[in-house]
Structure 1
Amino acid sequence: MNKKKPKRNYNMDTRTKMASANDKRIMQSIFALWEQLSIHEITLDMVARDAGVTVRTILRKFGSKEGLIEASIEKDVSNIKKERETAIEGDYLQALTILVRDYERIGDAAIRTLAIEQELPIAKKILDSGRAYHREWCEKIFAPFLPDPENPDYEQKLLSFITATEFYLWKLLRRDLNKSREATFVVFKSLVEGLIQQGKT
């Protein structure tokens, strides 16, 4: 009997690892589809086919397409937060390089999501999550250039950095005005350096 126990444990461990791998593939699949299509256009059949699972498996684990999207955001399957976290506090040039690279990757998907924000609650959740994280990121990266959090000017200064590095600015420059990636980076850099200089006076 003792010889059978390790086998059962091994089988359980294997099944757990397989289920975890399936979950990751499913979440990565819907993110990859989001990069290419509007949320309206994405179906669970597409996700299942790309992930190599059944729709029933997806529904059993995540409940719905919306539930799957929320789980994907929470787990950061796109590694967006992971990449942003490599930015060093105070090193705004490195941070802006990472930020613009991030916008280049997900910018068009975010634009499509913006277009349906008022229509689909899950679209608003995606964008609200991004906005909240961008604020946290700016608080960390630009901390050396911000007043003490207790200072009455703190919120206004922080909002200035948030605005100067917002996705909407990338959209304006890259898609509305058709500026190059390099020119877009220069604008971000100019605005941030202006705020830093302003804080020194």
Structure 2
Amino acid sequence: MNKRKYEMTSRADAAARTADRIIDAMLARFATTPYENVRIEDVAADAGVTGQTLIRRFGSKAALMNATVARELARVAAAREEAAQASPTDTIHELIHHYERYGALILKTYSEAPLVAGLPALAARGRAFHVDWCRRAFPLDPSLSPTEKAVRTAQIIAICDATTWRILRFDGELDEAQTEQALAALLLPLLV
């Protein structure tokens, strides 16, 4: 590789690493702070860059938030796709593990999405992915009537939702293993 091409690649790699640090910092701030109270200066300081660098790279706080959610949605989708290839019991296990990491953040993103330009569309994409994933991860008997399929599909989607995880885990005061058992008890009978 010639020197100029190597330098361009190195600069691009450094810019990508900087963008990842900024997104990581935004994710950490958003996880613990209402969106309206997240300050660009704080995110920049957490990422080890200036506010000017952050704005030059992302344009605005809303654009940074959208980039953060888009990156995490891609990561979530990849992990969930892998889990969908397993048995229903293993898929439930991975879903609970996923919600232990992302559940509260998903629910917070949905609740604050209206505050951020562009974020409602990303939230809708995440929701559409969840619905499609549930259909593929937990296929139903094709001999079921259309009505029974629709009812069971709705039940599966609701059972696998982050809100159900939160209700079981926190409102129901279950630990992770108990939450997994409760979700399996709700879901597995629908797959017969």
Q: Is the 8 A contact 1:24 1:77 kept in 2?
A: no
Q: CA deviation at 1:14?
A: 1.4
Q: CA deviation at 1:128?
A: 2.8
Q: Structure 1: 5+ residue runs without aligned partners?
A: none
Q: Could you tell me the percent identity over the aligned residues? A: 26
Q: What is aligned with 1:84?
A: 80
What is the alpha-carbon distance in structure 2 between the residues aligned to residue 118 and residue 196 of structure 1? Answer: 35
Alignment of 1:18-57 (within 5 A): 18-57=14-53
Alignment of 1:1-201 (within 5 A): 6-76=2-72, 79-89=75-85, 91-117=87-113, 120=116, 124-125=120-121, 127-143=123-139, 145-147=140-142, 152-153=146-147, 154-197=149-192
TM-score (norm 2): 0.83
What is the alpha-carbon distance in structure 2 between the residues aligned to residue 82 and residue 123 of structure 1? Answer: 20
Larger Rg: 1
TM-score (norm 1): 0.80
After superposition, the C-alpha distances for 1:169-195 in whole angstroms (9 at most, x for unaligned) are: 111122223222222111110111110
Q: How many matched pairs?
A: 190
SS at match of 1:30: helix
Q: CA deviation at 1:19?
A: 0.9
Q: Is the 8 A contact 2:159 2:187 kept in 1?
A: yes
SS at match of 2:85: coil
Q: As a proportion of its length, which structure holds more helix? A: 2
- List 4+ stretches of structure 1 deviating above 6 A: none
CA gap of 1:155–1:71, structure 2 versus 1, over 3 A, is: farther
Q: Structure 2: 5+ residue runs without aligned partners?
A: none
Counterpart amino acid of residue 165 in structure 2: W
CA RMSD of aligned residues (A): 2.6
Q: CA deviation at 1:121?
A: 5.2
CA gap of 1:14–1:117, structure 2 versus 1, over 3 A, is: closer
Q: Is the 8 A contact 1:96 1:189 kept in 2?
A: yes
CA gap of 1:115–1:186, structure 2 versus 1, over 3 A, is: same
